[in-house]
Amino acid sequence: MFLHLNTYIVYGVGRTGKGVEMRFLHTADWHLGRIFYGQYLTEDQAHVLEHQFFNILKDENIDGILLAGDIFDRAVPPIEAIELWDSIITRLAMDYKVPLFVVSGNHDGAERLEVGRSMLGQSGIHIWGSPHHALKPFEFEGTDGKVAICPMPFSEPRRIGEALFADVEATNAESTDTEIADIATQRYEQNCESTLNLHNYDQMYQAWSDYLYKQVPKGMRSIAISHAFVMGGEVGGSERTLSVGGSEQVNPQAFKDFHYTALGHLHGSQRMGANHIRYSGSPLKYSFDEHMQKKSFTIIDMDTKGSVDISTISVEAKRDVVILEGYFEDLLNDKALQAKHRDDYVQARLLDTMPIMDGMAKLRQVYHRCMTIDLVGRVAGPIAEMGDAVFKELNERQLFNQFAETVWKEPLTEQEQQYINSVWDRILKED
């Protein structure tokens, strides 16, 4: 299935009555190499990226791509994920010639992601992994002038503080440009020095953002790319916690000065405090908790003054992630439901209170990618209360009979009891 490229959800003024000067595609959280209940999602990811992502670049005349972290699902990705990434950046550089601006996320190995960054940069593939490489805006020459790209890859607060302080010291010592030297004021230098012992993401990102923005030439448009957990964001079920206790949260005010901020980390598309500060969300659903999310790519139209119009293009994945709730036999025999979700990733929420033999095997015959069963009916059913004193008065056979009656909500039949007795007799003989 292919997306309808002319169908938009538009935020702000929209395109009517206003010429489009520069157009960016904002995306994030690809998580190449993701494993979903034991199955690699590389085929699903390749479908979206190779068929839909490139269609957008071609049909929507994209001037630049903002990729806000978590390109890979882990620091050492599988070879299939690396090959997919290689094919993407090769086609961008050789065939489409659309500049790509990338920051690393908390799932990425920052140093590995940066391998070949100097050479790739000459081909329009700009990657920032280490905060030490993300201390200067990159001036992107577009069709209607320059835009300052301000990279803020994910990093620990201490590493950010060390990078900032070292750069302020170097700038203060070497620069003869009074405009640049003004960035390293005594107040700011002291602020950087004090943050070396802090572990607070909000303070660090505030300092980092301020440091980058002060270097944007006066009158130039600016775009920040950051992988961070912004306060107030709606969390799905597949994002990894950045730290313990909520200290990883960053106030959206940290990004208020930029004309647009492309965020990554949270997998649901959403605005953060202002329309120009946004998460694009992930292109695929990576958890059953995300089954209701509408995945999309974000399009940013920026005029010569930096004003932005924002729209989204829906992603049509090769397979959906769905939750099917009902009784086992109903799900097993519903032909219409099977036809719709035969190849989707399915979680079956069963309302049955009785045990089901070989439930997963039977469901996978009709829902080929049934990944998990949630026995909500049995969990919700009443559980018989029996005190410790009762158990102490029962022998092993009686305990088993009591357990069976609790589970099945009725005593064993005469035939079942005879069979159980024969089993007990065999066990006793073996002992």
Residue 179 lies in a domain: yes
Asked if 160 contacts 187 with a C-beta cutoff of 8 angstroms, the reply is no
In the prediction, which pLDDT does 176 show? 54
Q: Are residues 180 and 150 part of one domain?
A: yes
- d(CA 102, CA 104) in angstroms, rounded, equals 7
Burial (CB count within 10 angstroms: exposed 0-12, middle 13-18, buried 19+), residue 383: exposed
Tokens read off for 141: 């020459």
Residue 307 belongs to domain with CATH number = 3.60.21.10
pLDDT score at 18: 45
Q: Is 321 exposed, middle or buried (0-12, 13-18, 19+ CB in 10 A)?
A: buried
Of 284, 314, 344, which marks where a domain is finished? 314
Q: What is the pLDDT of residue 4?
A: 40
Same structural domain, 99 and 70: yes
What pLDDT tens digit does each residue of the chain (431 aa) get?
334 444 444 444 344 334 558 999 999 999 999 999 999 999 999 999 989 999 999 999 999 999 999 999 999 999 999 999 999 999 999 999 999 999 999 999 999 999 988 999 999 999 999 999 999 999 999 888 999 999 999 998 888 888 888 767 666 656 555 544 454 444 445 555 554 446 788 888 999 999 999 999 999 999 999 999 999 888 877 776 665 555 688 999 999 999 999 999 999 999 998 999 999 999 999 999 999 999 999 999 999 999 999 999 999 999 999 999 999 999 999 999 999 999 999 999 999 988 888 899 999 999 999 999 998 887 665 544 544 445 455 677 777 777 777 767 677 788 888 888 888 777 766 65
Q: 163 and 294 in one domain?
A: yes
Q: Is residue 29 part of a domain?
A: yes
Burial 245-256, CB ≥16 within 10 A → b, else e: eeebbbbbebbe
pLDDT for the residue numbered 403:
76
Q: Are residues 288 and 407 in the same domain?
A: no
Domain membership of residue 207 as a residue range? 9-314
| Final residue before a domain boundary, out of 314, 346, 366 | 314
Is 295 found in the same domain as 404? no
Query: Could you give the CA distance from residue 233 to residue 216 in angstroms, rounded to a whole number?
Result: 28
Pairing type for strands 221-227 and 249-250 reads: unpaired
Residues 309 and 394 in one domain: no
In a domain, 3, yes or no: no
pLDDT of residue 20: 54
pLDDT given for residue 192 in this prediction: 53
Residues 251 and 116 in one domain: yes
The model carries a pTM of 0.80
| Total tally of structural domains belonging to the chain | 3
**Widest CA span in the chain:** 97
Separation of alpha carbons 192 and 189, rounded Å: 5
Report residue 347 as tokens: 């979680």
Q: What is the Cα–Cα distance from 293 to 269, expressed in whole angstroms?
A: 8
Identify whether 27 is part of a domain.
Answer: yes
